[in-house]
């Protein structure tokens, strides 16, 4: 007698595929429509919970609407980046580190990728706008406080005259040491998760910048490195002259330790080594004196000797610019050498966070212990088999509400059943998500 064939849970029927497609389209439309809605700055202006932070991420969810279902790449994470510090985001590939950084930069690939919930509070300085939404210039004044006037120049630098042949006078706008025209500014905190893309352009690349992991694919091979740094200069100062932009490019190359910057500025990326290309990427990220630098595995594509130079450089520029750095890596050696705080991610969630000493001296979560054990040390014997955590990261589609590490965990016990573990605070800075530490 014929028995009915059992359904493979990993294969979707046509009916199920259509249902997923319909639901995805409806969700994506909803988010894209919300992005097009005209909003006032009040809508995305907020307050930091702690004045000592530059970035606060709260309950962040970033989902991808795929043909197989909703992939919950980042699923409700909370962490903050204090001022003047380096925070390391660690975890295996696919645990949501890069998607977190792309969410902060508003670079998640839409419409499939969407920040569906949560807030990303970022403290910055922004322009004060007048009633018509225009920036308010700061003018040079004389000793008596009167505004100084100067000749109006056209784009070619020639004096503009009225119909009687007299030079037209305009108020003289103040400029910074770098020659950037000055406008009235204010301290403000924005919720990037709610911020319209047009407003995000004002802070992306200037106040938050990113160093990508593969400098060869991140730099454009058909333009010189100087041209690519100049592009960043024009983003910060659209009125910069060609010479000012070129001089700034040379200065930035010299600042990141590139020898003969006047010559190298005219080189194409393929003429430089991997380490030099990464230095160029760092130079581009530093042009606007950012408050937050996101470095996404900046040393992965480099050989070991260059890795240490680049890490040293990142630490040096962080101290010089008083910027904060969010360092994304899966290399615990990099974290130990560079970071002040560590956030450990697994399957789109944070499993443990604390200061670098707390995480290295007293790791609590079995996953944190596992990734530390997987790193060979001087004591590892020549013939010893290297440790690796058994199993793989679970599929982020249809993720259950339970400990996501339990199938790989060597410390699993009867207390591990039930819902996803709550956060357990071990100290003011150290917390862990594991049932084992429940009181």
Q: What's the first-to-final CA gap in the chain, in angstroms?
A: 56
Comparing CB distances to ligand SF4, the nearer of 315 and 412 is 412
Which span (147-155, 185-193, 329-337, 428-436) binds ligand SF4, by CB under 6 A? Answer: 428-436
Tell the smallest beta-carbon distance from residue 347 to ligand SF4 (Å): 11
Q: Could you give the C-alpha distances from 396 to 44, 70, 131, 341, 344, in angstroms and in order?
A: 29, 8, 47, 26, 17
Among 406, 424, 426, 429, binds ligand SF4 (CB under 6 A): 406
Tell the smallest beta-carbon distance from residue 418 to ligand SF4 (Å): 9
Comparing CB distances to ligand SF4, the nearer of 70 and 344 is 344
Query: How is the chain split among helix, strand and coil, in percent rounded to 5?
Result: 30, 25, 45
Which span (46-54, 183-191, 307-315, 411-419) binds ligand SF4, by CB under 6 A? Answer: 411-419
């439309």: which residue's tokens? 29
Among 28, 129, 236, 416, binds ligand SF4 (CB under 6 A): 416
Among 90, 192, 302, 403, binds ligand SF4 (CB under 6 A): 403
CA dist., res. 87 & res. 206, Å (int): 20
Tell the smallest beta-carbon distance from residue 421 to ligand SF4 (Å): 5
Comparing CB distances to ligand SF4, the nearer of 83 and 406 is 406
Comparing CB distances to ligand SF4, the nearer of 328 and 409 is 409
Residues 361-380 contacting ligand SF4, CB under 6 A: 366
CA dist., res. 325 & res. 380, Å (int): 32
436 binds ligand SF4 (CB under 6 A): yes
Among 412, 424, 426, 429, binds ligand SF4 (CB under 6 A): 412
CA dist., res. 77 & res. 420, Å (int): 13
286 binds ligand SF4 (CB under 6 A): no
CA dist., res. 215 & res. 273, Å (int): 10
Strand blocks (E) in 97-235: 113-127, 149-151, 169-171, 185-191, 208-211
Comparing CB distances to ligand SF4, the nearer of 105 and 342 is 342
Q: Give me the phi and psi of 113, to 5 degrees please.
A: -95, 130
The footprint of ligand SF4 on this chain (CB under 6 A) covers a number of residues equal to 12
63 binds ligand SF4 (CB under 6 A): no
Edge-to-edge order in the sheet of strand 324-329: 208-211, 292-296, 324-329, 86-90, 341-346, 349-355, 431-432, 424-425
């956060």: which residue's tokens? 423
Tell the smallest beta-carbon distance from residue 12 to ligand SF4 (Å): 29
As given in the structure block, the two tokens for residue 186 are: 């204010």
Comparing CB distances to ligand SF4, the nearer of 249 and 344 is 344
Which span (33-41, 98-106, 319-327, 430-438) binds ligand SF4, by CB under 6 A? Answer: 430-438
CA dist., res. 52 & res. 41, Å (int): 23
| 287 three-state secondary structure | coil
Nearest residue to 69 via CA among 422, 402, 401, 396:
396
Interface mask toward ligand SF4 for 227-256; x: CB under 6 A: ------------------------------
Which span (102-110, 114-122, 310-318, 403-411) binds ligand SF4, by CB under 6 A? Answer: 403-411
Cross-strand partners of 146: none
Tell the smallest beta-carbon distance from residue 88 to ligand SF4 (Å): 21
Among 248, 405, 430, 431, binds ligand SF4 (CB under 6 A): 405
CA dist., res. 161 & res. 169, Å (int): 9
Kind plus residue range of the DSSP H or E element containing 56: strand 53-66
Q: Which residues of this chain interact with ligand SF4, rule CB under 6 A?
A: 366, 403, 405-406, 409, 411-412, 416, 421, 434-436
């Amino acid at each position: 007698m014929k028995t009915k064939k059992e359904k493979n849970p990993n294969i979707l029927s046509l009916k199920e595929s259509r249902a997923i497609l319909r639901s995805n389209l409806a969700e994506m439309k909803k988010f894209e429509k919300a992005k097009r809605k005209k909003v006032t700055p009040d809508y995305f202006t907020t307050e930091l919970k702690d004045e000592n932070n530059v970035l606060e991420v709260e309950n962040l969810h970033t989902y991808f609407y795929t043909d197989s279902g909703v992939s919950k790449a980042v699923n409700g994470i909370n962490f903050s980046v204090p001022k003047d510090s380096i925070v390391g985001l660690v975890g295996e590939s696919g645990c949501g580190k890069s998607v977190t950084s792309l969410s902060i930069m508003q670079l998640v690939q839409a419409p499939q990728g969407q920040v569906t919930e949560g807030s990303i509070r970022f403290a910055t300085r922004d322009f004060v706008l007048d009633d018509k939404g225009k920036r308010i210039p700061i003018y040079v004044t004389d000793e008596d406080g009167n505004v100084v006037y100067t000749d109006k120049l056209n784009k070619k630098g020639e004096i503009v005259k009225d119909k009687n042949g007299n030079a037209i006078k305009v108020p003289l706008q103040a400029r910074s040491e770098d020659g950037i025209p000055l406008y009235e500014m204010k301290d403000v905190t924005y919720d990037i998760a709610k911020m319209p893309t047009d407003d995000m352009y004002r802070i992306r690349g200037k106040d938050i910048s990113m160093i990508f992991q593969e400098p060869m694919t991140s730099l454009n091979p058909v333009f010189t490195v100087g041209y690519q740094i100049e592009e960043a200069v024009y983003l910060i100062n659209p009125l910069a002259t060609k010479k000012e932009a070129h001089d700034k490019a040379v200065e930035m190359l010299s600042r990141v330790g590139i020898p003969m910057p006047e010559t190298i500025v005219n080189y194409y990326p393929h003429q430089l080594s991997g380490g030099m290309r990464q230095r160029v990427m760092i130079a581009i990220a530093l042009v606007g004196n950012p408050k937050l630098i996101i470095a996404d595995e900046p040393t992965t594509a480099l050989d070991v000797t260059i890795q240490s130079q680049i890490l040293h450089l990142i630490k040096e520029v962080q101290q010089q610019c008083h910027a904060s750095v969010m360092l994304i890596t899966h290399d615990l050696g990099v974290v130990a050498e560079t970071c002040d705080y560590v956030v450990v991610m697994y399957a789109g969630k944070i499993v443990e966070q604390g200061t670098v000493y707390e995480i290295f001296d007293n790791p609590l979560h079995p996953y944190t212990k596992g990734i530390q054990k997987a790193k060979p040390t001087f004591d590892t014997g020549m013939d010893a088999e290297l440790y690796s955590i058994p199993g793989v990261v679970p599929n982020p589609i249809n993720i259950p509400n339970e400990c996501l590490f339990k199938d790989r965990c060597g410390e699993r016990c009867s207390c591990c059943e039930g819902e996803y573990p709550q956060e357990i605070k071990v100290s003011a800075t150290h917390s862990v998500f594991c049932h084992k530490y429940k009181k």
